[in-house]
Structure 1
């Protein structure tokens, strides 16, 4: 009976903790600066790629506005075509090219990421606002993907890259906010993130998206 109780106590303990000891603060407490800087650097790389693609899409939208019959370099066939996607209403959900929103979103997250690398700890309310804003960006990017995949039946390679970078930036931002106690979550969740297990979810999600593209448009 005593052995059973001791076993239950160990099983119920927080990950990374030994019975009678507190969980490792390195894994469940606020993230150390070196970890935050590394995560922010990953966000900067993805954000810069996203910013470049957003500018590229903005230029192409401008060119198409002047010449609707223009064939873009990323027009491979009827299924892989930037022109086909760019000429739909979904590409101008607010009345102007969606790429302009991409420039806004990437600019904000890049500014935050650079500040984090420099060692700045922004207020919790500010990071929550950034989290909310970029969550909107992620859902918007995924909505555009589903529209292209299920409704338009054509994919834009640049837009696929935006979906990839937006997912990676959101994952990094959320990872950081969980560890810094900006977002609600217990020690188990912070341990899960600090141990790098969240990457499994991110990679699995991206693999599913890639498989969808390969099955319908390439294989």
Structure 2
């Protein structure tokens, strides 16, 4: 019975419905967070001393993060990029759930663009952790959701051979996701992020 249950869970986890459903849910979370961050950016632009709802303490402070130059790297609030990008991801995920199969070149381009988005999200996380010295809950939600979207997109592209990789490497990666190594990597990675936050800020997170 246990073996049968594990088999069903394995098939569910690798089914397109589950993968694209996870992508859709994660991108919706990111869109919501981007909307809130955009609204707060407008509030801070009108009043730099505004007390935002997520200004909890010296560490958990959206105002501190939102006022830093890193939050306006391109001359406008970074959250505006989320308002542009996430609807595209939502459309891809919803269309894929409906049975649309996008061309290989399109999925490859999506992988490249979202990889750049992931790098940017983690650059912002690094800046918050080690230079700004404060964390924004909505920004952390964007980091989490971006990680989940990236992992699901990568899973699909490896499974379907959309990345134009050498045959041997492509086969090895498909074997890896078949053993759920991608899931293991994501879980370990997210736990490491939580551990890094706790080790750096400790009790100040709740002070």
**TM superposition score category, shorter chain reference:** 0.7 to 0.9
CA deviations on 1:170-210 (whole Å, 9 max, x unpaired) are 00000000000001233221021133221000111111111
For residues 25-64 of structure 1, the aligned pairs below 5 Å read: 35-64=15-44
Q: How big is the shift at 1:41?
A: 0.3
Q: Structure 2: how far apart are the matches of 1:43 and 1:151?
A: 31
Q: Structure 1: how far apart are the matches of 2:85 and 2:188?
A: 24
Q: Is the 8 A contact 1:80 1:155 kept in 2?
A: yes
Q: Which residue does the alignment assign to 2:87? A: 107
Q: Is the 8 A contact 1:50 1:166 kept in 2?
A: yes
Q: Which residue does the alignment assign to 2:7? A: none
Kindly report the root-mean-square deviation, in angstroms, between the aligned alpha carbons of the 2 structures.
Answer: 1.8
CA deviations on 1:41-61 (whole Å, 9 max, x unpaired) are 001111111100000000011
Q: Which residue does the alignment assign to 1:117? A: 97
Q: Is the 8 A contact 1:105 1:137 kept in 2?
A: no
Q: Which residue does the alignment assign to 1:190? A: 174
Could you tell me which runs of 5 or more consecutive residues in structure 2 were left unpaired when the two chains were aligned: 1-10
For residues 126-165 of structure 1, the aligned pairs below 5 Å read: 126-165=106-145
Q: Is the 8 A contact 1:105 1:134 kept in 2?
A: no
- Pick aligned residue for 1:217 from 187, 201, 205: 201
> What TM-score do the two structures reach when normalised by structure 1?
0.82
Matched, 1:208 2:188: no
- Pick aligned residue for 2:73 from 67, 87, 93: 93
DSSP-derived class of the 2:15 partner: helix
Q: How many corresponding residue pairs?
A: 189
Q: Structure 1: how far apart are the matches of 2:152 and 2:45?
A: 35
Matched, 1:82 2:62: yes
Q: Structure 1: how far apart are the matches of 2:141 and 2:197?
A: 12
Q: Is the 8 A contact 1:138 1:166 kept in 2?
A: yes
Structure richer in helix, relative to its length: 2
Q: How big is the shift at 1:114?
A: 0.8
Could you tell me which runs of 5 or more consecutive residues in structure 1 were left unpaired when the two chains were aligned: 1-30
Q: Structure 1: how far apart are the matches of 2:33 and 2:60?
A: 17
Which region of structure 1 is more displaced relative to structure 2, 174-183 or 107-116?
107-116
Q: How big is the shift at 1:149?
A: 0.6
Q: Structure 2: how far apart are the matches of 1:192 and 1:38?
A: 18
For residues 170-189 of structure 1, the aligned pairs below 5 Å read: 170-183=150-163, 184=165, 185-189=169-173
